[in-house]
């Protein structure tokens, strides 16, 4: 051993089944930069644009949050319990240019588009 303690993770997520995701500061930084680049380049979002995230509290929720900070994008969180009516209200009120969700919640989002 080289006498050093292992680095503390920057992010440590555990779900109800005991599954874990651990990211070091370097990994979290790199992943958030890549995500910010996707938002800015592939999605064409600019500083000040708004994004609505309708996701459960999965690791990607935090990654998206930090990526928005990096890119200067305004992050509007939404819970997975939102109804179609709730989603429509948030989209209209926020004037979001982008919605991020998962396969499970996509039908509710698509129903208001």
Give this prediction's pTM: 0.85
Residue 1 falls inside a structural domain? no
Residue 24 falls inside a structural domain? yes
Please say if the pLDDT value at position 3 is more than 80.
no
CATH number of the domain at 97, please: 3.40.50.980
Residue whose token pair is 């292992």: 6
- List, for residues 28-45, the tens digit of each pLDDT value: 999 999 999 999 999 999
Average pLDDT, the chain: 92
Residue 3 falls inside a structural domain? no
Range of the domain at 95: 9-111
- List, for residues 57-72, the tens digit of each pLDDT value: 899 999 999 999 999 9
Number of domains in the chain: 1
Please say if the pLDDT value at position 11 is more than 70.
yes
């Amino acid at each position: 051993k080289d006498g050093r303690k292992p680095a503390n993770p920057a992010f440590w997520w555990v779900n109800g089944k005991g599954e874990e995701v651990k990211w070091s500061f370097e990994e979290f930084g790199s992943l958030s930069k890549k995500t910010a680049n996707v938002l800015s380049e592939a999605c064409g979002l600019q500083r000040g644009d708004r994004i609505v995230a309708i996701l459960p509290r999965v690791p990607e929720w935090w990654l998206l949050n930090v990526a928005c900070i990096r890119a200067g994008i305004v992050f509007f969180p939404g819970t997975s319990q939102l109804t179609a009516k709730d989603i429509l209200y948030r989209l209209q009120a926020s004037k979001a240019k982008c919605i991020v969700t998962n396969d499970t919640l996509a039908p509710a989002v698509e129903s208001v588009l």
